[in-house]
A = this chain, B = another copy of it.
Amino acid sequence: MKLKDLYSFLKRDLQQIEDQLAQSVSSEQTLINTAGLELLKAGGKRIRPVFVLLSAQFGTYDIHQIKKTAAALELIHMASLVHDDVVDDADMRRGRETVKAKYDSKVAMYTGDYIFASALKLMTDIEIPRAHQILAQGMKEMCLGEVEQIKEQYDTDQNVRKYFKRIKRKTALLIAMSCQLGAITSKADIPVQKLLYDFGYSVGMAFQITDDILDFTASEKQLGKPAGSDLKQGNITLPALYTIQRFPGFKEKLNLYYENGDETLLSDILKQIKRNGSIEFASAISDTYLNRAKAAASGLPETSARESLLKVADFIAGRKF
């Protein structure tokens, strides 16, 4: 079973969203045009558009309208990835010829800005000021989340509350907004909008926790990067935070690793996390969020869209890699 099989009936509509995305990132400016189209080709699960489309089914579904909202949400996601890459690339590219390096990151920077602006422009085609407000406010929150994440990097003294706040802003918010703005665009009833927001928020939380678990438990082949990469890069997620809280001495061990970068020590740390019950703990939290999502969905009208939302939620929160 693949994710896209869960919403095969959306296939044609999703193609329209691809077309809308291509149209939005395209530009007479060759560099931006090329960069944008390459980003689109790189693909992605298009999770956010799927949530927009499914949520829009609870109101008056008009693909010509809703495709704009769906593409806008995906563009916000894409732009944030581009900006993440700018800063990371700038570091990785050291040693290359400088003007070239500068040139590249400049183009990437403004490509990211361009995609952000395109997202907002597209959203303004939906002439509902409240939708514009929600999107702009969401973007503010997401930026705060990015900075929080930088500040909390390598911080072994942080508590679990900070982690939840971080993943809310990093992931859950955009999925919650996807559901909410899908409902708003199709003029679904206010209580339905609210339920969909709650649903998206909880699914997003479960999704990110699952992602963070997999970074410990999946294989390098499945992840496309070595397991434990998050921890290595100072991104201290739920299983590690649980271990810090429960096992005296672990924090010191992790701090030691951050000081000396000893790979044997890292390997020892990762083994400990995988065996000490922290994975099970994090899974239970993820399940709690998934159940909250289902509880929210249970308040929605019993439609095939609701069935699909539940299936997608199960899939992305419960996936094994």
Contact = CB atoms under 8 A, between A and B. Distances in A.
A81 interface: no
B32 A110 contact: no
A257 interface: no
B29 A147 contact: yes
Interface size class for chain A? 35 or more
Interface stretch (A39-47, A133-141, A171-179, A241-249): A133-141
Interface in A4-29: 27-29
Contacts of A31: 147, 150-151
A121 B134 CA distance: 8
Nearest to A122: B136
Q: Which 6 residue pairs of A and B lie closest in terms of their CB atoms, listed nearest first?
A: A117-B139, A121-B136, A114-B143, A120-B136, A127-B129, A124-B133
Contacts of A103: 150
A29 B91 CA distance: 25
Contacts of A132: 120, 124, 129, 132
Contact of A116 (B107, B116, B123): B116
- The count of identical subunits is 2
Interface in A118-164: 118, 120-121, 123-125, 127-129, 132-133, 136-137, 139-140, 142-144, 146-148, 150-151
A111 B87 CA distance: 13
A29, A98, A110: most-surrounded residue (chain B CB, <10 A)? A110
A110 B140 contact: no
Contacts of A110: 83, 143, 146-147, 150
A136 B117 CA distance: 6
Contacts of A120: 120, 132, 136, 139
